[in-house]
Amino acid sequence: MYSEWDPLDEIRYTYGYELKDKKILLIPTGSIAAFKTPELVRLLIRHGADVYILPSREALKYVSIDTLKWASGGKVLDGFTYRAEHIYMIKDMDLIAVIPATANIISKAAYGIADTDASLAIHSAMGYGKPIVMAPVMHINMYRNPFYKEAVNRLEEYGVKFIAPDIKEDKAKLRDLNYIKSYLISILSDKILDGLKILVSAGPTIEYIDPVRIITNKSSGKMGVYIAEEAYMMGAKVKLIAGNISINPYEDLDVTYVETTEEMYYAVMEELSNGYDIFISASAPVDYRPSTTEKNKIES
């Protein structure tokens, strides 16, 4: 029936099942970066999450509540009610993500101030011992403020995780959304590979004919990168040896880049001497290489 149709079914699990059955409360606060909230919500849903949104009043200056309802399938809290959502709803959440997080909300959380819906939700979540992740955004002078740093240190002592910002143009800016997504997945993933060391090779190699011409193949390297990322999120210590891959791996991965098949071989063999539990060879070395490589460009 039409009444049972959920438009989110069209996108849920299209990128994976890592967040299946996970409930995330997303709290965007008053930064221009709040306009990215709908995109982040949809990204998390594509990995299976149920995303609820509690925007601060200041956040709604940068993104409309109707847009947030569209992104989340209507799961938007426009303030707490007599139902005491800050108690009973928070209790059901698997993760609280304050993204973007202003200096104001971080400072309030650090000192137990609960004078807004957003700060009250964080206050309650800390009491429940829920995982909390914050992604700070602000001007660089505010980011360097000693009182702000004190607030961050205080929250970290209580288990709150922080996604370090990108420092650009004298501003602490929100990290890439794919990085944030991967970070949240890593927090919620079962660490079934904890304690294992895994080496993964990925991508094509190249062989030089001359300084501008090469022999290679059309491998993207995606499979190897995704394997490495999944293993990392499941708790393994991962090393990735990458050829000419077409995507950027998760930023926290330990990656060594190589070009030629010989470089790939020696990089892998050197790493294997460090005692890995598992080696996954997902690279695509080229089948041939020239008997000699010209030092100068061959004339056409």
Q: Which pLDDT score, from 0 to 100, does residue 3 have?
A: 55
In the predicted model, what is the mean pLDDT of residues 263-292? 96
Q: What is the mean pLDDT of residues 44-63?
A: 97
Query: Is the predicted pLDDT of residue 1 greater than 50, yes or no?
Result: no
pLDDT higher at 7 or 290: 290
C-alpha dist (Å) from residue 79 to 45, 57, 92, 97: 23, 9, 17, 17
Does residue 2 surpass a pLDDT of 60? no
Of the pLDDT bands very low, low, confident and very high (cuts 50, 70, 90), residue 248 is confident
In the chain the domains, ranked by start, together with CATH numbers, are 2-188 (3.40.50.1950), 197-284 (3.40.50.10300)
Q: 115-169: per-residue pLDDT in tens?
A: 999 999 999 999 999 999 999 999 999 999 999 999 999 999 999 999 999 999 9
The whole-angstrom separation of Cα 130 and Cα 21 is 16
Mean pLDDT of 80-89: 81
| Least confident span in 79-88, 92-101, 181-190, 273-282 | 79-88
pTM, rounded to two decimals: 0.79
Kindly state the average pLDDT of the residues 274-300. Answer: 93
The three state secondary structure string of the chain is CHHHCCHHHHCCCCCCCCCCCCEEEECCCCCHHHHHHHHHHHHHHHCCCEEEECCCCCHHHCCCHHHHHHHHCCCECCCCCCCCHHHHHHHHCCEEEEEEECHHHHHHHHCCCCCCHHHHHHHHHHHHCCCEEEEECEEHHHHCCHHHHHHHHHHHHCCCEECCCEEECCEEECCCHHHHHHHHHHHHCCCCCCCCEEEEEEEECCEECCCCCEECCCCCCHHHHHHHHHHHHCCCEEEEEECCCCCCCCCCCEEEECCCHHHHHHHHHHHHCCCCCEEEEEEECCCCCCCCCCCCCCCC
Mean pLDDT, the chain, rounded, equals 94
Tens-place pLDDT, residues 253-273: 999 999 999 999 999 999 999
CA distance 8 to 177: 19
pLDDT of residue 189: 87
pLDDT tens-digit series, residues 11-44: 999 998 999 999 999 999 999 999 999 999 999 9
Residue/partner pairs of 253-256 with CB below 8 Å, 24 or more apart: 253/228, 253/229
pLDDT at 4: 67
